[in-house]
Amino acid sequence: MEIQVLPVAADQLRQPPKADYGFCVTFANRMFTQHYTRDRGWHDAKIEPFAPFSLSPATSSLHYAQMIFEGMKAYRRADGRINLFRPWDNTRRFNNSALRMAMPVVDEEEHLAAICKLINIEDEWVPSQADASLYIRPTMIATETMLGVRAGAAYLHFVIISPVGPYFSEGFNPVSVYITDAYARAVRGGVGEAKTGGNYAASLFAGEDARRKGYSQVLWLDAIERRYVEEVGAMNICFVYDGRRIVTPSLTGSILPGVTRRSVIELGRHLGYEVEEAMIDVHEMLADVKSGRITEVFGSGTAAVIAPVGKFGFHDEEIAISDGQTGPVARELFEHLTDIQYGRAPDPFGWVYTISPNGH
Ligand SMILES: *Cc1c(COP(=O)(O)O)cnc(C)c1O
């Protein structure tokens, strides 16, 4: 793949913020784009100025949500080089999402090479501040002008990047989670396993409902029995029993297979925890929180890495977890994972991919 690199006009060039990045408030000066048509395949790969797209109001993805995305981060090492974390896993998942949404796959090597090239060109947008990072958002949308309901014949694949601050700006604080059995996010056989926008659209109403009740996130149960724990917003969920056994819901088809989730399973075992994937009954789980058998609950995802859960709401009940404090297992996993991501600790798993300054 030849990637054409276009200049940014001098009066359009923006400087990255120096601190207080927030979450994806500003985007780097350039983005990656390429187009797909049935007869030409992927073509016209460019690194070009970050700018609005021009789309027909009849563009199919605006109507029927045929789109997918990914989320990963680049981390500045102490030696100035840049790490990606398990980028092949995100790339494979991007293609799995594409297949599920009847979209064309991308070449995995080329996709990752394009991301590395974009980051190298926009190097100054990768923060050096402790615990800040660069958020990478690969996306694909159907671009055919058509209101018929069928898979599109044309697609746009793009990657935008944005510096992000530490997820927990006031420190590593527990979040509150409302368990809903009134609404469902995804059902087995549906698209819950794919990183596609519709899953988020489907979650917004329950999210607003939870916020009105004073909670920041929603915990979803399986859509059929409304009984088995699935995941939280944009995070998978883990329970710690007796301080030494970590249990996370099995991937049943309606849960997003998180890269952080898999890393928690592998790192947890490496650190000597018993780790299990299982069906978790919400009533048993809440009884175990109340009895103190469950000592910690935390979410896992690229944005927060590990997010301790301090309390659950369910119907009219409020249930505190480990006195609303951050537990030792969440802290240990958070520190270990972020040390590997920033290159501060050895990486026995081969998870880290260091971008070379001249190529990928
Ligand atoms: C992205 C995402 C996750 C977390 O996946 P990571 O690869 O760990 O970032 C979990 N649940 C949902 C619904 C997601 O979209």
237 shares a domain with 122: no
Q: Which residues constitute the domain of residue 290? A: 175-341
Sign of the dihedral through C-alpha 113, 114, 116, 120:
positive
Q: Copy the structure tokens of residue 37.
A: 């048509």
DSSP 331: H
| Predicted confidence band of residue 357 (pLDDT cuts 50, 70, 90) | confident
Same-domain status, 186 and 53: no
Q: How far is the CA of 269 from the centre of ligand 1 (A)?
A: 21
CA 99 to centroid of ligand 1, rounded, Å: 18
> Does the pLDDT of residue 171 top 90, yes or no?
no
CA distance 123 to 81: 10
Residue 170 within any structural domain of the chain:
no
Mean pLDDT of 187-202: 96
Whole-number Å distance between alpha carbons of 155 and 29: 23
The rounded Cα 284 to chain-centroid distance in angstroms is 28
User: Does 240 fall in a domain?
Assistant: yes
337 lines ligand 1 (CB under 6 A): no
Q: Locate the DSSP E strands across the chain.
A: 4-5, 30-37, 41-49, 67-69, 72-76, 82-85, 133-142, 154-164, 175-180, 217-221, 229-232, 236-241, 245-249, 274-278, 294-301, 305-314, 317-320, 352-355
Q: Are residues 128 and 245 part of one domain?
A: no
Whether 25 is covered by a domain: the verdict is yes
Q: Look at ligand 1, atom 14, and give the residue with the nearest C-alpha.
A: 234
pLDDT > 90? residue 282: yes
280: domain CATH number is 3.20.10.10
Q: Examine the domain organization and report whether 217 and 160 are in the same domain.
A: no
Residues 108 and 236 in one domain: no
- Ligand 1 centroid, distance to 1 Cα (angstroms): 29
CA distances from 124 to 17, 163, 170, 288 (A): 10, 10, 26, 48
**Domain assignment present for 348:** no
Tell me the mean pLDDT in the region 147-152: 92
Kindly tell me if the per-residue pLDDT of 236 is higher than 60: yes
What does the pLDDT look like over 322-347, one tens digit per residue?
888 899 999 999 999 999 999 999 99
Does 358 score more than 70 pLDDT?
Answer: no
In a domain, 329, yes or no: yes
- Give the C-alpha separation, 141 to 197, whole Å: 10
Look at residue 91 and tell me if it is in a domain. yes
Residue 211 has a pLDDT of 95
> Ligand 1, atom 13: nearest CA belongs to which residue?
234
- What confidence score (pLDDT) does residue 190 get? 96
Question: For residue 135, what pLDDT is reported?
Answer: 97
Instruction: Report percent pLDDT > 70 for the chain.
Output: 98
Look at ligand 1, atom 2, and give the residue with the nearest C-alpha.
234
Q: Which of 165, 199, 222 is the last residue of a domain?
A: 165
Count CB-CB contacts under 10 A for residue 147: 11
Q: Closest Cα partner for 268 from 334, 171, 324, 322?
A: 334
Q: Are residues 96 and 210 in the same domain?
A: no
- The residue to which tokens 């671009």 are assigned: 143
Q: What is the pLDDT of residue 144?
A: 96
pLDDT in tens, 59-115: 999 999 999 999 999 999 999 999 999 999 999 999 999 999 999 999 999 999 999
The residue whose CA has the least distance to atom 5 of ligand 1 is 258
Of residues 358 and 278, the one with the higher pLDDT is 278
Residue 20, pLDDT score: 81
Element (H, E) at 203: helix 197-212
Cα of 186 vs centre of ligand 1, distance in Å, is 14
What is the reported pLDDT for 19?
81
In this structure, the answer to whether residues 138 and 284 fall within a common structural domain is: no
| % the chain with pLDDT above 90 | 91
Instruction: Say yes or no: 226 and 157 in one domain.
Output: no
Structural domain contains residue 352: no
Distance 304 CA to ligand 1 centre (A): 11
45-55: b (≥16 Cβ within 10 Å) or e: bbbbebeeeee
One-letter amino acid at 208 equals: E
106 and 129 both lie in a single domain: yes
Identify which of 73, 191, 238, 256 to mutate to test ligand 1's pocket (most ligand atoms within 8 A of the CB).
Answer: 256
The overall average pLDDT reported for the chain is 95
127 shares a domain with 76? yes
Q: pLDDT-derived band of residue 170, with 50, 70 and 90 as boundaries?
A: low
Q: What is the average pLDDT across 181-205?
A: 96
Say yes or no: CB of residue 261 within 6 Å of ligand 1: yes
Q: Which of 72, 94, 235, 334 to mutate to test the pocket of ligand 1 (most atoms within 8 A of CB)?
A: 235
Q: How far is the CA of 234 from the centre of ligand 1 (A)?
A: 5
Q: Which residues have a Cβ under 8 Å from the Cβ of 308 and sit 6 or more positions away? A: 172, 173, 174, 175, 296, 297, 298, 326, 327, 330
Domains in the chain, number: 2
* Whether residues 181 and 239 fall in one domain: yes
Q: Calculate mean pLDDT across residues 144-152.
A: 93
- Whether ligand 1 lies within 6 angstroms of the CB of 236 is answered as yes
Whose CA is closest to 111, among 201, 42, 173, 184? 42
Task: State the CATH number of the domain containing residue 91.
Answer: 3.30.470.10
Is residue 95 domain-shared with residue 184, that is, in the same domain?
no
